[in-house]
Amino acid sequence: MKKNWPLWEVFVRSKNGLEHRHFGSLHAADAEMALENARDVYTRRNEGVSIWVVESKYITASNPENNPEMFEPAKDKVYRHPTFYDLPDEIKHM
């Protein structure tokens, strides 16, 4: 039976000190080939100093349909932000 090359997600650190960021995806037979392909597809112009690849099927994503219960509760917790607190004007930096 014909088996297609699986899909991989590619994460690139553009320079030391920065996090790896999702760059895109590609197909490859295994991890080693995924790394080689990621180098050719996503870093032809010095875009990176480090690459992670992970097979797409291992990523669990939240469902946008559940966004209200996932993310909206954070909206009414304004006390998590510094601007919630009243301080005298004399305090310049806090």
Cα→Cα distances 11→36, 41, 52, 53, 94, Å: 13, 12, 5, 6, 36
Shortest distance, position 64 Cβ to another protein, whole Å = 5
What span, in angstroms and rounded, lies between the C-alpha atoms of 50 and 77? 37
Residues present in the chain in total: 94
Closer by beta carbon to another protein, 7 or else 18: 7
Closer by beta carbon to another protein, 68 or else 88: 68
Shortest distance, position 50 Cβ to another protein, whole Å = 19
Closer by beta carbon to another protein, 45 or else 80: 45
